[in-house]
Each structure stands twice: as structure tokens, then as C-alpha cells.
Amino acid sequence: MRSWSPYALLVVAAIALDQVFYPLVEADLPFQEKVDLLPFLALFRTYNTGIAFSMFSSFGDTGLIVISLVVVAFVLFLATRIAPSQILARTGFALIVGGALGNLIDRAVYGHVIDYILFHTPVWSFAVFNLADAFISVGAALVVFDELFGWGREPKARPSKD
């Protein structure tokens, strides 16, 4: 259990950091009005009633909360199946869980997820997202990176055919 302590702390930190912005966004950011910060980055408060680009919004809050809990449980299951030496993957799983739980709290408290970060150019824009979504994306990238480039780890022992 001790080896999971730093990752549990990372989950808690991700949730806390994600949640600290919501009252500020709700109180100070106009709804669906772009506030440019940089030529390619703006704040833009909107609500997401689904999961990832508003998918499954027809499932309702309860359905989406159940789906989120199942996904978190599955990610935790996967996290327990990796070696302690896979630090990048463990960090990635912790970020995914922290981000997913941050969005789950939003959905349970507000009935939707509050998105507020917008990357854009004059002719294109990415979907509006929040800090929890960024944690999930960075976490997934770390897990994939660890799996693809973890070739330096010791190979698993193969059973002999005696």
C-alpha cells in the first residue's frame, strides 16, 4: 500500500486543483463569451452535459455518473496490474483517476461539467475543455508512452516448456 501513497496524493491534488477553479469560473467568467488570453488560448465558459465532446448526453446524470464510476474502477484495476517500476504509467493512471473524479464531482454537484479552456486559431478551434480533461489526456499519454517505450524494463519470465 505504501508504494501507492504518492499516486493517491496525486489523485487528491488533481481533484483539488480542478475543483478550486470552478467557483472562480462560475462567478467571474461570462457564459459562452470568449476572453482571449493569448492569440491561441482563451477562456470560454460552457457546460458539457455528456462525456468527452458531449457524447452520451442522453444517458442523463445518473447514467453518466455510473459510467464514470465503472471507468474509474477499470482504470484502478489496470493500475494494480502494472509493475511498481512503471512510474510513468502509475502517474498517468493517477492523473486519469483524478481527472475523472473531478468531472464526476462536477456532474454530481452541478448536473454538468463546466468547461472553460479553448485553444483556437482565427479559422479553427479545439473543443472547450477543463483542467480535469487535461489531467485525463496527459495521464493517458503517459500510460501509452510508458507502454510503447518501456522496452528498457526487464522482460517477463516465460514458462519453460520442459
Which residues are marked as active site? Answer: 115, 133
Please classify residue 21 by burial: count the beta carbons closer than 10 Å to its beta carbon, then call 0-12 exposed, 13-18 middle and 19+ buried: middle
146, 148, 152, 157 alpha-carbon torsion, rounded to 10°: 100
